[in-house]
Amino acid sequence: MDVRIRRVRRTDHDPLARLLGWSEVSPRTKRMFRRLVADLAYDFYVAESEGTIAGVVAVSYVRSLSLGGQRATLEELFVDPRTRRAGVGAKLLAFAIERAAQRDARELVAVPGDEAGEALLAGAGFAPGARRHLRALGGKSA
């Protein structure tokens, strides 16, 4: 499968909403999407094949005192179910790793969503790390 990775554009909102199965698209979610697209401190890329979006990857960056540099976090890595097992996820992950290295991040953190995600991360050299604790903050829904 021939895949091209490019930065997300504002015009990608509707195709990504369909791909990711967003249950609700509101003016608020569209504003958030536009902000993410414009934010050069946030890596937001799609994999395209034959003019169709086949997957998406997003990485955020924060400065970490304990690391003495930036920590990159893999926020999203999603591949269209119709194109899974064709190497799209591996290409997106390799791209994200390369971009984080170019941005001089000290580490790239990822939390796999399932066994396939764990296998993909392990194949790219990720190892289980420190335990994470999460707390929902009750933000407004989209």
Each residue of 68-115: pLDDT tens digit? 899 999 999 999 999 888 999 999 999 999 999 999 999 999 988 888
Using pLDDT thresholds of 50, 70 and 90, give the confidence band for residue 142: very low
- Report how far apart, in Å, the C-alpha atoms of 80 and of each of 89, 101, 140 are: 9, 26, 28
* pLDDT for res 17: 92
* pLDDT for res 131: 67
Q: Return the H-helix or E-strand segment holding 9.
A: none
pLDDT value at 141 more than 60: no
* pLDDT for res 61: 94
24-65 tens-digit pLDDT: 888 888 999 999 999 988 999 999 999 999 999 999 999 989
Q: Read off the pLDDT of each residue in 108-131 and give the average, rounded to a whole number.
A: 87
Give me Rg for the CA atoms of the chain: 15
Among the four given CATH numbers 3.10.250.10, 3.40.50.150, 3.40.630.30, 3.30.70.270, the one describing domain 4-123: 3.40.630.30
* pLDDT for res 29: 87
Q: How many CB atoms lie within 10 A of CB 101?
A: 11
How far apart are the C-alpha atoms of 68 and 14, rounded to whole Å? Answer: 39
How far apart are the C-alpha atoms of 98 and 96, rounded to whole Å? Answer: 5
- DSSP code of residue 140: P
Domain ranges of the chain: 4-123
* pLDDT for res 39: 92
pTM of structure: 0.87
